[in-house]
C-alpha cells in the first residue's frame, strides 16, 4: 500500500466511517420504541427495527436519486412501518422527532477514530466531512461525539442540495476548501456512494471495508482499509 503522492486535504464520510451509525441508530431506536410503549402492541423490538430499516433504506435510496423529498423520507419511514406492522395510536411525526433528538446523543465512534484523527491533525492535514445526512442531526453528532475539533468544515447534502455520489457535492467541497483534486482524498464505507462518487469526480479514495483490494480505477487510486489505524499507511 505504498503511496507516491502527497495529499493535503482529507475528506471523510461520517456515518459508518467515523460515527458508528449501525449501533448508535439502533440504540436511538430502542429508546424511541420504549418511550412510545410499542411493546404494548405485541411487537418485539427486533421485528420493529427490521421493518423500519427496510422502509428507511428504500426511502434513502429514493432521496439520493432525487425521487423522495426530505419531508417524505423522515415521516414516511415510520408511517409505512406502522402500516405494515399494524401499529395504532402513535403519530409518525412524533416518534420521528423523538428519534431525531435521541440519535445525536449516541456517541459511539469506530475503534481508533479519535486517535487516527489526532495523528492526521498532527501531520497538518486539512480535514473535512462530506455527508448525506440531514444538517441538524449531523452537526449535533459531530459536536457531541467529540469529532468537531478535527474538522474545518462539514458539507451536508441537505445544505449543498445534492447528495453523494453526485459530482456537485464533491466539486462544492473541493472548491470551498481551495483544494486541488490531485492532493485530495475521500474516505468512506459505502462503495456506491462514497467511493464511486470520488472515482467519478476523479479524486483518490480509501474504501473502509474488507471486501476490495487497493486498485487503480480510471484516473484514480482506491485504497482499502479494514481499520482506521491503517490510514497511517496511506497518509
Write the pLDDT tens digit of every residue in 85-127: 999 999 999 999 999 999 999 999 999 999 999 999 999 999 9
On the question of pLDDT at 70 being above 90, the answer is no
On the question of pLDDT at 82 being above 80, the answer is yes
Write the pLDDT tens digit of every residue in 120-135: 999 999 999 999 988 9
Please report the pLDDT score of residue 66 as a whole number.
84
Q: Is 135 in contact with 158 (CB distance < 8 Å)?
A: yes
- Report the pLDDT averaged over residues 8-34: 97
Q: For residue 120, give the nearest of 206, 15, 211, 27 by alpha carbon.
A: 206
Q: Rg of the chain's alpha carbons, rounded to an integer? A: 19
On the question of pLDDT at 18 being above 60, the answer is yes
On the question of pLDDT at 2 being above 70, the answer is no
Please report the pLDDT score of residue 6 as a whole number.
85
On the question of pLDDT at 177 being above 60, the answer is yes
Q: For residue 47, give the nearest of 61, 21, 29, 62 by alpha carbon.
A: 29
Does the reported pTM lie above 0.85?
A: yes
Q: What are phi and psi of 35, to 5 degrees?
A: -60, -35
- Report the pLDDT averaged over residues 50-75: 91
Assign 145 a pLDDT band (cuts: 50, 70, 90): very high
Percent of the chain scored above 70 by pLDDT? Answer: 95
Amino acid at each position: 500500500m505504498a503511496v507516491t503522492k502527497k495529499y493535503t486535504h482529507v475528506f471523510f464520510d461520517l456515518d459508518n466511517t467515523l460515527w458508528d451509525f449501525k449501533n448508535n441508530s439502533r440504540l436511538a431506536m430502542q429508546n424511541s420504541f420504549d418511550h412510545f410503549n410499542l411493546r404494548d402492541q405485541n411487537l418485539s423490538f427486533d421485528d420493529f427495527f427490521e421493518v423500519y430499516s427496510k422502509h428507511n433504506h428504500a426511502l434513502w435510496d429514493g432521496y439520493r436519486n432525487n425521487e423522495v423529498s426530505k419531508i417524505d423520507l423522515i415521516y414516511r419511514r415510520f408511517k409505512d412501518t406502522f402500516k405494515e406492522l399494524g401499529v395504532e395510536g402513535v403519530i409518525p411525526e412524533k416518534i420521528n422527532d423523538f428519534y431525531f433528538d435521541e440519535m445525536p446523543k449516541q456517541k459511539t465512534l469506530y475503534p481508533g477514530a479519535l486517535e487516527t484523527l489526532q495523528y492526521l491533525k498532527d501531520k497538518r492535514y486539512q480535514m473535512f466531512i462530506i455527508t448525506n445526512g440531514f444538517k441538524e442531526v449531523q452537526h449535533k453528532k459531530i459536536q457531541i461525539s467529540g469529532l468537531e475539533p478535527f474538522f474545518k468544515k462539514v458539507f451536508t447534502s441537505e445544505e449543498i442540495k445534492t447528495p453523494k455520489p453526485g459530482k456537485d457535492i464533491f466539486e462544492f467541497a473541493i472548491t470551498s476548501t481551495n483544494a486541488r483534486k490531485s492532493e485530495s482524498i475521500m474516505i468512506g464505507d459505502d462503495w456506491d456512494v462514497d467511493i464511486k462518487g470520488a472515482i467519478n469526480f476523479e479524486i483518490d479514495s480509501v474504501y473502509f471495508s474488507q471486501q476490495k483490494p487497493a486498485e487503480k480505477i480510471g484516473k484514480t487510486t482506491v485504497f482499502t482499509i479494514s481499520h482506521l489505524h491503517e490510514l497511517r499507511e496511506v497518509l
